[in-house]
Structures are given as structure tokens and as C-alpha cells.
Amino acid sequence: MTATSQPFVSDVTELRRRAREQIERGAVTQNYGGDVAQTIELLQTALATEIVCVLRYTMHNVAAVGIDSESVKQEFAEHANDEREHAEKIAERINQLGGTPNFDPEGLSTRSATEYGDAETLVDMIKENLIAERIAVEHYRELIRFFGDKDPTTRVMLEGILAQEEEHANDMHDLLVAHEGKPFLSG
């Protein structure tokens, strides 16, 4: 190694020393590039969004009626389960960062990027879920851009969730087309 080249990794002895010195910080190491408090706050919003989505999909699964409702109900149930898994991943990340995931139902809808909704017909339920998925997709894209290289662990987790949210939006769009015969939402 020449005098001008930088080693790829830090001195192992120094890494070990820092790890022992800051053990109370848990997973948050010295070179964490983000603001931990802000990250936790943003993830609390994502957690609330996922919880609201679980509740909405579950309610729609229970309330959906009519011809073809069984296949749609099954889709709602699958999406509710996916959203629950997203909520758990986000809650685990909040915990890793030293925060306490906020599962308190009080104020849940105001912390969420999406709305619970009040659809009564099958088509309105599909529309409501499609709109919520589109909001979630945009919300996760913004969060991913924000975290960038500052917090790659959170960014990668959110990228995985985003991919599923995009699939959910496609699923809801396909159901809407099948039940309305129109490729796009009006107004």
C-alpha cells in the first residue's frame, strides 16, 4: 500500500474500541449519517400509515359483498397481511434506532399519510385502496430520497416496502378495470 492510498476499512483495533465505547447506542454507530430523532419521527408516520392500511383492508375484506366479491375479499386480506408485515418491519427499525414504535390508536389517522375511508360499494373500496396505495408509493419514494446514503439500512427496508406497495397499486388498478371496465380513475 502506498502512502497516498487510503485503506478500504478502518483500523480494526479502532473499530473495536469505538464499538465498545458506545455500546449504549445499540445499532446506531458513530458513522450513522442521519439524525436519529428525525428518522424515528419519519418512521412513526410510515408505521401509522401501514396500520391504517391494515385496518382499511381488513374492514373492506369483512364488508365487501356482491358478485365477484370473494376474489376481491381475498385480495384485500392478502394486502392487509402484507401491510401488517410492513408495519412490523418499520416498528423493528424504530426499535433498533432506540425509539419506541407508536401503536397507540389515539391520533393514528392524523399520524398517517393515508386515510381510513368510508367506502360502501366494492368499486369504491377498490378506489379507496388504490388511492391509498398511490399515496404510500409517493410517500415511500420521498422517504427513500431523503434517507439516501445517510441511512442505507432504513432506505433498503423502505425500498422493499415500496416494491410491494407498487404491486398493491397495480393489483387495485387491475381490480378497478375488471369491475368498472375503465383503465383510469376519473376526476
Tell me, what's the pLDDT at 100?
A: 98
Predicted TM-score (pTM) of the model is 0.83
Which pLDDT tens digit goes with each residue over 82-128? 999 999 999 999 999 999 999 999 999 999 999 999 999 999 999 99
d(C-alpha 47, C-alpha 41), whole Å: 10
d(C-alpha 125, C-alpha 73), whole Å: 10
Q: Which residue has the higher pLDDT, 8 or 154?
A: 154
Does 187 score more than 90 pLDDT? Answer: no
Q: Does domain 33-180 have CATH number 3.10.20.600?
A: no
Please answer whether residues 112 and 52 qualify as being in contact, where contact means their C-beta atoms are separated by less than 8 angstroms: yes
Does 4 score more than 70 pLDDT? Answer: no
Tell me, what's the pLDDT at 160?
A: 98
Tell me, what's the pLDDT at 24?
A: 62
Tell me, what's the pLDDT at 87?
A: 99
**Cα–Cα distances in angstroms (integers) from residue 128 to residues 71, 122, 166, 180, 186, in the given order:** 17, 10, 15, 14, 13
Which pLDDT tens digit goes with each residue over 140-163? 999 999 999 999 999 999 999 999
Work out the percent of the chain whose per-residue pLDDT is above 70.
81
Q: Strands, DSSP E only, in the chain?
A: none
Does 29 score more than 70 pLDDT? Answer: no
By C-alpha distance, which of 32, 132, 117, 40 is closest to 79? 132
